[in-house]
Structure 1
Amino acid sequence: MEQERCGWVNSDPLYIRYHDEEWGVPVHDDRKLFEMLVLEGAQAGLSWYTVLKKREHYRKVFDGFDPELVAAYDEQKLAALLTDEGIIRNRLKVQAAVTNAQAFLKVKHEFGSFDRYIWSFVGGSPVHQHRTRLSEVPASTPESDAMSKDLKKRGFKFVGTTICYAFMQATGMVNDHVKACFRYSTTAEGQGNPVPGFETETLVTD
């Protein structure tokens, strides 16, 4: 008997593997968080499936999503990226990756890690949702609103509240697997672990 999954998953093994192994699993590695920030921004106006199919190529041409390297991209590098059919060739989105890398490094310097900063929007621990149907999953929440507002204030681009909530879902800040999905309970099992070294005080304020 085939395992039941969230309704947004198609039959592509790549998409199934992403759902089963990554989506909703807490991420605390800064480079991985930067990768997801760039890719969620690239998704704007498109489907995640479209971006997912291009992810390996993105990793290649964006130097493994090393924010130090991406922050230093010059016009020549940007021009090369915009001719690469393996990525989303949107100038604003490609430029945003560089801008966001620069802002990312500033946040990392201020808070010690981007991980520590971004997880403060959920108090350092994942939020375990209890959705029974896909239609109950929101496009945004007060937490993603706050994240979007603060990221924009810090100079980040393509970080609207809907993109921020998709980022939160993808990196396990929230568990939005529906109850019927086999990953609902298995993902929840690891959701009580806070960010390593995270204190309970609020890190981000207006």
Structure 2
Amino acid sequence: MCDGKTGRCGWCGEDPIYVAYHDTEWGVPEYDSRALWEKLILDGFQAGLAWITILRKRDAFRTAFEGFDPNIIAEWNDADVARLLGDAGIVRHRGKIEAAIGNARAWQVIEARGGFDTFVWDFVEGTPLVNAFETLGDVPAATEMSERMSKELKKVGFRFCGPTIVYAWLQACGVVNDHLTGCFRRDEVAALAR
């Protein structure tokens, strides 16, 4: 449900970081391959944690992961994994770090086939799917589309990209517009689509 005072999706509460994220980023259609990949990696790191944890560490992640350049990260090795495991500014989870490196290599495969951005946006024929959910309880954790995309990503070698992570990522990247019907950002975000 939307907050009656602010007209925002209720999930962001009153935390200024969450509010800024909701008001400026969440649901804005993302068309850049590298930026799409960064957001998927961050959603993978969020697994089992609160998204606010990732938002608070996002700048440290960007520094540690060299601006999330998948072409650089694809070349990393065990020494880089060890370096990242020692970085208190990020989520230090060996499996997620190793997955990010493998996911950079998988991104390169899809990028070479015609673009990671094209891969993602083809699932909705280039136009964001605009849902009409009234309450947070109406919003699904995963959909048939996120299940299909998860399977396709895994076929190429992606990890930490199950249907729930993929759906959260699609919402964040504006491939799916799940701002609630009473949220002031719903129509604003829809107008940003190509």
User: What's 1:57 paired with?
Assistant: 60
179-188 or 20-29, which deviates more = 179-188
3-state SS of 1:8 partner? helix
Q: Is the 8 A contact 1:121 1:146 kept in 2?
A: no
3-state SS of 1:122 partner? coil
- Name the aligned partner's letter for residue 104 of structure 1: W
Could you tell me which runs of 5 or more consecutive residues in structure 2 were left unpaired when the two chains were aligned: none
Q: 2:157 aligns with which of 155, 158, 163?
A: 155
Q: 1:25 aligns with which of 22, 28, 41?
A: 28
3-state SS of 2:12 partner? coil
User: What's 1:135 paired with?
Assistant: 137
Superposed displacement of residue 10, structure 1: 2.5
User: What's 2:83 paired with?
Assistant: 80
User: What's 2:94 paired with?
Assistant: 91
CA distance in 1, matches of 2:173, 2:15: 21
Shift >4 Å, 4+ stretches = none
Superposed displacement of residue 2, structure 1: 5.0
3-12 or 82-91, which deviates more = 3-12
CA distance in 1, matches of 2:104, 2:9: 32
- Name the aligned partner's letter for residue 27 of structure 2: G
Q: Is the 8 A contact 1:42 1:93 kept in 2?
A: yes
Percent identity between matched residues is 47
| Relative contact order higher in (CA < 8 Å, ≥ 6 apart) | 2
Q: Which residues of 2 match residues 101-116 of structure 1 at below 5 A?
A: 101-111=104-114, 113-116=115-118
CA distance in 2, matches of 1:190, 1:87: 31
Q: 1:169 aligns with which of 168, 171, 181?
A: 171
Aligned length: 191
Superposed displacement of residue 3, structure 1: 2.6
